[in-house]
Structure 1
């Protein structure tokens, strides 16, 4: 069954992308009726979208609306620190449950295909699916709920900065190594080290890109 994305989710996704991409700068006033007119929708979906942005930490509730929050390098550091802790737990649980790895193998193949086509956008989509797999395979409802809090922001970051690596083929091979270490290795330290290096590298590239985007030079 194909489910249509709710209008509030669509608005939140667009606003999230504009905030993280710098189109809506910190301090920008997000007014419900103004946004409703701009998007030609009722106020209900706008209200829902703004509440999502507040949960994301991208907007603060103020008198008569919301204001765009500043996203700092420290915010990205915290996001990835929490993500690493949660993802490590999700992988541990997936391994303990003897997850069916065939779906992850198909995702890795998708990463290789996107790399061969040199498609940053498609690679970023497969990348997110790769990491989402562990929460679906290993997580209980609470762990999966935690992932749903991070996933929209990570997806928006991928859209505005589809920069999973300088070399997509190397990045695909990196995911391949993580996949096989998790699936085949009896050494927990091996996959933990690979996953940590992978996520820390992604965080640092994103922070460098954000810093470069703020540099007027």
Structure 2
């Protein structure tokens, strides 16, 4: 099935084909995607609402990332992950627990690639979200994850972080399985707080290197 113009533009931004700060000119995009300017205008409006397109001095552009935005995203995600983990411990079914065990057991451990780690990590987190049986939290976390996808590097490639994340996943699953809501919430909060700290360190190191080269 052909993707909508909105989905095509969104994917191009999240995949980095349209770089941060790049101007988004309706007429040029209409030519590139083979459509009229109306669906382009509607797609840009939705992407602006999503927060991945912003208005600059000369019109719309791909939103720039910042350390402040990373903090804002993670402030929200830390709170939501703690809540969703607590809910998962209270509401999980046997099927939810079995699914989480299967994902954790299948997680790559022998020198995995960045893409393998990202896919496995996302699969585990999405299964925890589903185990909460709270559609609103799932929707909010999915939106926050969209914002994080604009930062292509993954925290899981930091030395030792993948192994640590797997241990945290195992501890979280154990808390969910035994119905310990308080422990699940605490583990979820700590897990995402560590991810935030690694993400900020990576951001600072990247931009310090760019400044040195300029």
TM-score bracket, normalised by the shorter chain, equals 0.7 to 0.9
Q: Which runs of 5+ in 2 are unaligned?
A: none
1:176 is aligned, of 150, 166, 170, to: 170
Per the TM alignment, residue 54 of structure 1 is displaced from its structure 2 partner at its CA by 1.5
Cα 1:169–1:14 change in 2 (3 A) is: same
Return closer, same or farther for 1:116/1:156 CA change in 2, 3 Å cut-off: farther
Query: Contact 1:12–1:52 (CA<8 Å) still a contact in 2?
Result: no
Q: C-alpha deviations, 1:142-198, integer Å up to 9, x for none?
A: 2222123223223443xx21331423333322322222123226371x333322221
**Contact kept? 1:32, 1:65, Cα under 8 Å:** no
Equivalent of residue 184 in structure 2, options 188, 191, 199: 191
Cα deviation for residue 96 of structure 1 reads: 1.9
Q: Is there any run of 5+ residues in structure 1 with no aligned partner, and where?
A: none
Structure 1 equivalent of residue 155 of structure 2: 163
Deviations 1:121-145 (A, max 9, x none): 1111111122122322214332222
In structure 2, the CA distance between the partners of 1:8 and 1:120, relative to structure 1 (3 Å rule), is: same
Distance change >3 Å, CA 141–CA 185, structure 1 → 2 = closer
Matches within 5 A, 1:1-217: 5-18=3-16, 24-26=19-21, 28-38=22-32, 40-42=33-35, 43=37, 46-61=40-55, 65-99=59-93, 100-111=96-107, 113=108, 115-157=109-151, 160-164=152-156, 165-167=158-160, 168-184=162-178, 186=180, 188=182, 190-215=183-208, 216-217=211-212
Residues 73 and 207 in structure 1, CA contact (< 8 A), matched pair in contact too? yes
TM-score, normalised relative to structure 2: 0.79
Do the aligned residues in 2 keep the contact of 1:8 with 1:46 (CA within 8 Å)?
yes
TM-score, normalization by structure 1: 0.79
CA distance in 1, matches of 2:126, 2:155: 18
Distance in 2 separating the partners of 1:129 and 1:178: 14
Matched residue pairs, number?
205
Distance of aligned partners of 1:53 and 1:212 in 2 relative to their CA distance in 1, 3 Å threshold: farther
Q: Does the C-alpha gap of structure 1 residues 45 and 153 become closer, same or farther in structure 2, counting only changes over 3 Å?
A: farther
Residue 59 of structure 1 deviates from its aligned partner by 1.9
Superposition deviation, residue 62 in structure 1: 6.0
1:101, distance to aligned residue in structure 2 (A): 0.7
- RMSD of aligned alpha carbons: 2.8
